[in-house]
Structure 1
Amino acid sequence: MKIILATSNRGKVREIAELFEGDEVIPFTEILGPLEIEETGESFGANALIKARTVFEKLGRDDAIVLSDDSGISVPALGGEPGIYSARYAGAGATDRANLEKLVAKLKERGLKETPAHYTAAVAVVAPGAEYLVHGWMHGKAIDTPRGEGGFGYDPIFIPEGYDRTLGELDPAIKRTISHRGRALALAKPIIGMLRSLYA
């Protein structure tokens, strides 16, 4: 069965495809074209399920597994911002750069050179007659000065616990082993294996 990703975010597509190397992993846009999915949930998990269900229903086929991810960074000192609004923190259609700059500005406003923060990833898996939801977390701190050109999103201002470099500076292979998304996908992988055997 094909694994259809309910995302068009190139960074996420790349990370997920690397983890499921050897499987046919396809972003939904290659099949359905552009599709606006309104994320009305009040949690990462709710939004991940909304995206996966929507794409599964639009596909209208029983030979695919749909996988979606909803993730973001939360800064307790900012009341948990940006949280579930991480992808649109600077407004609808905002770029990664604009979102990053807004968070940096908020940290500077509060005089926070560094402060505890964490990433959350919710991964939803939807297949014929089945839905699953798993989570992964990565703790560390947010800093007010971006460092590094790697990764995407808020990676240049997040230093994982136990490291002195940002995700933007760390080798991608290290990031995959410690990231919130990597941890959630590691839990999703056996679920997909089970589903594949059921529907093979």
Structure 2
Amino acid sequence: MRIVLATSNKGKVREIKAMCSDFEVVPYTDLIDAFDIIEDAPDFKGNALIKARAVYAALGDEDAIVLSDDSGISVDALGGEPGIYSARYAGEDASDKENLQKLMNAVKAKGLESSPAHYTAAIAIVTKEGEQTVHGWMYGDVITVPRGDNGFGYDPCFIPEGFDKTLGELDEEVKKGLSHRSKALYLAALVLHTIKKERHQ
């Protein structure tokens, strides 16, 4: 069964492929040209649904199974920022590095070296059978000096609860068991297996 991802973010594609190895997983840009999707919902769930619905409609294949993820980091000291704006915190075309730098500078500007924070991942699945959403969370602290080159996004400044290393320093396998996206994908996989069963009855 083929799952079409409503993203072309290489980091996300790699992570989702690894977690959903029972399925054929392809980014939508392998099937149609990339197009802009306006993500204007006030929360992760709403934005995940906007992306999945847009790609499902654009594919023009009623049997398609589209999965999208909207995720980000919320920092307590910053009143929950950047939240849904995590991917564009430092501007629309900001790089991971620029977003990371802005976050660390914002925490530093509060006179802090760290702050409690959490990651949220919302995953939406859109099919002819309907729409489903699931969530995963990961709690910890952000620091103001980046450490480690593994991962992407804000990983070098996030230390998960119970660890003394950042996500940028932790081994991929360890991260897999902790990550907000892994937790959401575990639940998404249960939904996908149910769809598969129903379609093959």
The alignment's TM-score, normalised by the length of structure 1, stands at: 0.98
- Cα distance between partner residues in 2 of 1:199 and 1:20: 18
**Counterpart mapping for 1:34-45 below 5 A:** 34-45=34-45
Q: Give 1:1-200 correspondences, 5 Å limit.
A: 1-200=1-200
Code of the residue aligned with 2:184 in structure 1: it is: A
Gaps of at least 5 residues in structure 1 are none
Give the partner amino acid of 2:78. Answer: L
Q: Cα–Cα, structure 1 residues 187 and 22, in superposed 2: closer, same or farther, change >3 Å?
A: closer
After superposition, the C-alpha distances for 1:129-187 in whole angstroms (9 at most, x for unaligned) are 31000110000000000000000000000000000000000001111111000001111
Q: Is the 8 A contact 1:104 1:145 kept in 2?
A: yes
In the alignment, the residues of structure 2 paired with residue 196 and residue 38 of structure 1 have an alpha-carbon distance, to the nearest angstrom, of: 30
Q: Distance in 1 between matches of 2:163 and 2:66?
A: 34
Letter aligned with residue 129 of structure 2: G
User: Displacement of 1:119 after TM fit?
Assistant: 0.3
Residue 22 of structure 1 and its aligned partner are, at CA, apart by 3.8
For each residue in 1:20-48, what CA deviation from the matched residue of structure 2 results, as whole angstroms up to 9, or x when unmatched? 11421000111112111110000000000
Structure 2: distance between partners of 1:164 and 1:124: 32
Contact 1:56 / 1:66 at 8 angstroms: preserved in 2?
Answer: yes
Give, as a single letter, the amino acid of the residue that structure 2 aligns with 1:138.
M
Q: May I ask how many residue pairs the two structures share in their alignment?
A: 200
> What SS does the aligned partner of 1:56 have?
helix
CA distance in 1, matches of 2:13, 2:70: 13
> What is the RMSD computed on CA atoms of the aligned residues?
0.9
User: Among the aligned pairs, what percent are the same residue?
Assistant: 56
What is the TM-score normalised by the length of structure 2?
Answer: 0.97
String of CA shifts for 1:93-147, please: whole Å, max 9, x gaps: 2111111111011111112111100000000011113100011000000000000
The answer on whether the counterparts of 2:20 and 2:185 sit within 8 Å (CA) in structure 1 is no
SS at match of 1:126: strand
4+ residue stretches of structure 1 with deviation over 4 A? none
Q: By how many angstroms is 1:59 displaced?
A: 0.6
Note the residue ranges of structure 2 that are not aligned, 5 or more in a row: none
Q: Deviations over 1:41-81 (max 9, x none)?
A: 00000000000010001111133210000000000110111
SS of 1:188's partner is helix
